């Protein structure tokens, strides 16, 4: 799968992510309790009271360590595109997909959804659509829905959603000059220690039009994050809120360099992309 945008970090204290659910209605629908327990620097929020049955029992644990946990369109194809897991470790999780191949929606619930999977989108608003980062507490149920399913196509396409721990460079960087642009960055630390950046830059030229650049960058020996797969498109919104995306170019090249909390962009494809500076306010 072609990676377009995101980021990951190898979290040393994390061993396990999700446990897969075998059937939609097999788990007990116990509601979340407000009690909190402290475990080191991580706040763990139990989803059931003491003495009650654990609704997560019977779920198969999936260990991800330094590898990605991959959800494919085939996993929930016959279940309205929905597959469900339970978070086993409180942490930040990065979600990355090819947004041109399918739309992936992520729902974080306190208890299993007891209605038919096809009604999930009517009952809840997704916590994330497409690429991004979510902080998920231990014991929460993670429903992942793909719009390419048995209701919309004859067979499952070869598309997937990667889930991994985001690196410390991840975050939203703000343009220090015009203050009209932002760069969403996800760092992916490979098993061999190499770092990749998945970057999505958004520059609003007006209230109804914006330019968007997406690229996957690999770190070179010179410390620069280079790319040659940049896609640029223009997004316009009409008076009714309907959006339209127009491709400007693809396979653009350039690089990013890091200077403290600053991300310096030098895009070779167009003059306006050269010497742009984005600042991460959290650092």
List Cβ<8 Å contacts ≥24 apart for 169-172.
Answer: 169/7, 169/9, 169/195, 169/197, 169/258, 170/7, 170/8, 170/9, 170/92, 170/94, 170/133, 171/280, 171/282, 171/283, 172/280
Predicted confidence (pLDDT) per residue in 191-239, tens digit? 777 889 999 999 988 889 999 999 999 999 999 999 999 999 999 998 8
User: Residue 23: what pLDDT?
Assistant: 38
Are 196 and 216 a contacting pair, CB within 8 Å?
A: yes
Helix, strand, coil distribution of the chain in percent, nearest 5: 5, 45, 50
Is residue 46 over pLDDT 50?
no
Angle at 218 between CA 166 and CA 251, to 5 degrees: 115
First to last CA, the chain: 32
The CA radius of gyration of the chain, in Å to the nearest whole number, is 20
**What mean pLDDT comes out for the span 49-62?**
50
**Rounded to an integer, what distance in angstroms lies between the CA atom of residue 264 and that of residue 36?**
41
Is residue 154 over pLDDT 50?
yes
Are 26 and 53 a contacting pair, CB within 8 Å?
A: no
**What mean pLDDT comes out for the span 3-20?**
36
**Rounded to an integer, what distance in angstroms lies between the CA atom of residue 98 and that of residue 131?**
8
**Rounded to an integer, what distance in angstroms lies between the CA atom of residue 114 and that of residue 135?**
24
């Amino acid at each position: 799968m072609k990676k377009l945008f995101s980021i990951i970090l190898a979290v040393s204290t994390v061993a396990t992510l999700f446990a897969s659910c075998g059937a939609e209605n097999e788990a007990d629908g116990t509601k979340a309790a407000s009690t909190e327990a402290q475990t080191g620097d991580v706040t763990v929020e139990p989803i059931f009271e003491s003495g009650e049955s654990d609704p997560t029992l019977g779920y198969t644990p999936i260990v991800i360590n330094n590898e990605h946990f991959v959800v494919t369109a085939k996993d929930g194809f016959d279940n309205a595109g929905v597959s469900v897991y339970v978070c086993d470790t409180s942490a930040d999780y990065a979600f990355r997909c090819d947004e041109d191949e399918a739309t992936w929606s992520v729902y974080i619930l306190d208890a299993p959804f007891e209605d038919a999977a096809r009604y999930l989108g009517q009952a809840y608003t997704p916590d994330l659509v497409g690429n991004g980062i979510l902080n998920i507490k231990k014991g929460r149920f993670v429903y992942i829905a793909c719009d390419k399913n048995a209701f919309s196509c004859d067979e499952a396409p070869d598309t997937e959603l990667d889930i991994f721990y985001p690196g410390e460079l991840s975050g939203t960087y703000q343009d220090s000059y015009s203050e009209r642009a932002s760069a969403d960055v996800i760092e992916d630390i490979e098993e061999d220690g190499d770092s990749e950046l998945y970057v999505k830059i958004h520059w609003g030229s007006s209230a109804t039009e914006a330019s968007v650049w997406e690229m996957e960058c690999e770190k070179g020996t010179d410390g620069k994050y280079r790319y040659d797969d940049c896609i640029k498109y223009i997004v316009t919104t009409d008076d009714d809120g309907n959006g339209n995306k127009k491709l400007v170019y693809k396979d653009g090249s350039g690089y990013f360099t890091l200077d403290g909390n600053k991300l310096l962009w030098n895009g070779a494809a167009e003059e306006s992309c050269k010497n742009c500076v984005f600042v991460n306010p959290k650092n």
